[in-house]
Chain A
Amino acid sequence: MRILVVEDDHEVAEYLKNGLEESGYKVDCAANGHDGLYMATGENYDLLIVDRMLPGLDGLALIKALRAAGRQVPVLVLSALGEVDDRVQGLRAGSDDYLTKPFSFSELLARIEALLRRGSIGSDVVTELKVADLEMDLLSRTVHRAGQEIDLQPREFRLLEYFMRHAGQVLTRTMLLEKVWDYHFDPQTNVIDVHVSRLRAKIDKNFDKPLIHTVRGAGYILREAD
C-alpha cells in the first residue's frame, strides 16, 4: 500500500513517514502543493494525506485539481484549523476524511485503514454481515449470535453494523461518534464507552469468546478472538 504525504512541516512529515512505514506502508513525501499534485497525478497511490495549509498550492486546491483530473484516490486532510466549517469545506472540496492537528497516531491509522478498506469493498449492496458466530440481517434488521436472537435498540443496531462493516479494524471513539451518531463534536466524558459497553453486554456477555475488544489508547475493535 503506497501513501503520499503532502506536508510542508518537515518534522510532521518525518513523524508520519516513520510511523506509517512501521505500520507497513510505503510512504513518499512532498513538501509543497505543486510537487504533491505532480506526484499524485503521475503515480498510483492508494491514499493521500494532505495538509490543509501548504506553500504554493493550498491543500484544498490540490484536492480539487486532483478530482478534476478524475483521480478517485482517497484523501485524508490534516488541518491545524480544526473547526467544523473547515471540515465541511474540506469534505466539500473532495476529501474523504478530515483530521485535526494535533492527532494521535492511532486515530490516524484507524482512519487510514477505514479509507483503504472502503476502496476495496466497493459499492456492492450487502444484506448480511457475519463475524464469527455473530450474524446481522440488514433487511429484517435482526441480529443473531450462535443462533440466539439478540434484541438491540436502533442506535445499538447501527453501532454494531458499523463495527461489523469494519470488522478487524480499530475504530476510535471520534470515528464512532461521527459515523454512528453523525455529529462532529467533542464529548467531555467518554459517553461512547457507555454505549459500547452496553452493546458488549448484549452480544458478548453470555458467550465464551468476546468479539468487541478495547484497544488501549485508541478505541475498539470487533474481531474473532484468536
Chain B
Amino acid sequence: MGPGTFYVKLTKLLRTSTFQLALVYMTLFATSVFILLGFIYWATAGYMARQTDETIEAEIQGLAEQYQRQGLEGLISVIQERTAKNMDGSSVYLFTSQDGQYLAGNLLAWPEAEINEGWINFHLDERVAKPRSGDLHLVRGRVFRTEGGMRLLVGRDVHNLMEVQELVSRALTWGMGVTVALAFAGGLFMSRSTLRRIESINQTSREIMKGDLSRRIPTRGSGDDFDQLAENLNAMLEQIEVLMEGVRHVSNNIAHDLRTPLTRLRNRLENMQSHTHDPVQAQESISQALLEADRILQTFNALLRISRIESGGFQRPNQKVSLKELVADAVELYEALAQDKEQTFEADLHSDVEILGDRDLLFQALANLLDNAIKYTPERGHIKVWLERGAKARLVVSDSGVGVPSAERDKVFERFYRVDKDRSTLGNGLGLSLVKAVVELHRGRIWLEDNDPGLRVVLELPYA
C-alpha cells in the first residue's frame, strides 16, 4: 500500500458520515470538557488568586487605619514590625514620602515610577529588592495613597501561586489535548469499523451487479443493526433470486412450449406449399395450421391472463357468488366428459357457501380443476367435489388418478410445470397457475393433498 492509496483511504474515511458524526460529537465533547476544566481552574487557581487579593486588600485597610490612628510614626513602626516578622519575604512592603523618599518596608525602590494607586504585578529584581535566592519572583501588590501624597505598597510573593496556576493550567491544556486526540482517534476507529462493514455490503452489491446473484452479505452474528440490515438485504436478495429463477424458468418454458406448436405450424405450411396442386390436401393443411396457431394464441392468452390477475389488473372481485351454484353448474358442464370416460362423478353440495368474488374467474378455476381431474384419472375412476364450512369456505376436488408426488406439490402451480415431463401430452401447463392466481385474487389459499389414491385439491376462500 503506497502513500497514495493511504491518502485515498483516509479521505474516504474522513468523508464517511460516521466520522463526521464523530467529529461533531468530538466538538461537543471538547466544548463540554473545556467548560468543565475552566470551572476547575476557576475553583482552584482562581480561588487562590482571589484569596491573595483579599488579604492584600485587608492589610492595606488595616495599615490605613493605623496611619489614621497613630500617624506617620505609628505606621512606619507597624511596617517595620511586620517586615521583621516576615522572615521568608513572602510579604512585600514599601512606604515612601511625597517625593518618593524611602520611609519603611523591605523593598528598596518602586518597581515602576508612575504608580499612584491600584494593582500591580512586578518581578523582584536587584533594583527593588535585596537579592535573595537568585530567582526573580513575581509579586502582586496594591498601592495605597494617603491624603498627604505618601504611597504605600503592600504585596505578596505569588511565586508559589503562579506555579500552582501554571501546573493546573498545564494539566488542563494537556487534558484538553488528550481528550481531542482520543475523540479524533475514536472517531477514526469507529468510522473505520463502520466503513469496513459498509464496504462489505458495497462489495457484495458490486459482485451481485456483475451477475453473481448467489452472493450474500456476511453477518457477524452479533445481531446488531448492521447484522439486521445485512439480514434484510439478504432476505431481499433471496427473493430476487427466486423471482429471477422463476422468470428464467418461465421464459425457458415459453420457448420450449411454443417451439413445438410453432414447428408443427411450420411443417403444415411447408406441407401446404408442396401440395398446392391438391386442393383437398391443402385445405386440410390450412385447417391444421389454423388449429396450431389457435393453440399458440390460447397459450399466450392464458399467460397474459395469469399475469394480469397476479399484477392486480383486475378489480378486487366483489360480486356475491354462491359456490354451491357455481360448483353445480361446473359439475353439470363437466359431468358429460367424465361419463365419456366412465368415471363416477360425485358432487356433495348439501351446504351452500357464499363468497365475494368474480363468478367467471371462479368458474374458470373450477373448470380447470375438473378438467385436470378428468384428464388425469383413468377410465372408471372416481371424482368427487364437495364444499366444507369451517373458519373459511373450502372447496375440495378429489380424484383417483395418478396423483402428484409430495415433492412436486408446490411446483405444479408454477407456469408450465408438468408432473408428466412429456410435453406432448394434453394441456399447456398453465391450468393450475391460473387457478392459483384466481384463488389468490380472492384472498384464498390452494394446496394439494394426497387422496390415497389420487389427488385432492383444496381451495380455501374467505366468506362473503
- Report A's interface with B, CB cutoff 8 A: 82-85, 100, 102, 104, 155, 181, 183-189, 191, 194-195, 198, 216-217
Contacts and interface: CB of A to CB of B under 8 A. Distances in A.
Contacts of B368: 188
Interface string B330-363: 0011101100100000000000000000111101
Interface secondary structure of B, over-half rule:
helix
B360 A217 contact: no
B364 interface: yes
Interface residues on B, range: 20 to 34
B314 A183 contact: no
Given A83-B308, A216-B287, A185 B364 contact: yes
Nearest to A88: B360
Given A183-B359, A186-B302, 13 more contacts: A83-B305, A83-B313, A83-B314, A104-B290, A181-B333, A183-B360, A185-B361, A186-B301, A187-B333, A188-B428, A189-B371, A191-B334, A195-B333
Contacts of A195: 333, 336
B315 interface: yes
Contacts of B298: 186
24 contacts: A82-B301, A83-B305, A83-B314, A84-B360, A84-B361, A85-B315, A100-B301, A104-B290, A183-B329, A183-B360, A183-B363, A183-B364, A185-B360, A186-B302, A187-B333, A187-B371, A188-B368, A188-B428, A188-B431, A191-B337, A191-B371, A194-B336, A217-B290, A217-B291
B369 to A, nearest CB: 11
A212 to B, nearest CB: 16
Interface of B: 287, 290-291, 294, 297-298, 301-302, 305, 308, 313-315, 329, 332-334, 336-337, 340, 358-361, 363-364, 367-368, 371, 375, 426-428, 431
A191 B297 CA distance: 19
Contact of A198 (B290, B291, B334, B336): B336
Nearest to A100: B301
Contacts of A194: 336-337, 340
B227 to A, nearest CB: 45
B371 A188 contact: yes
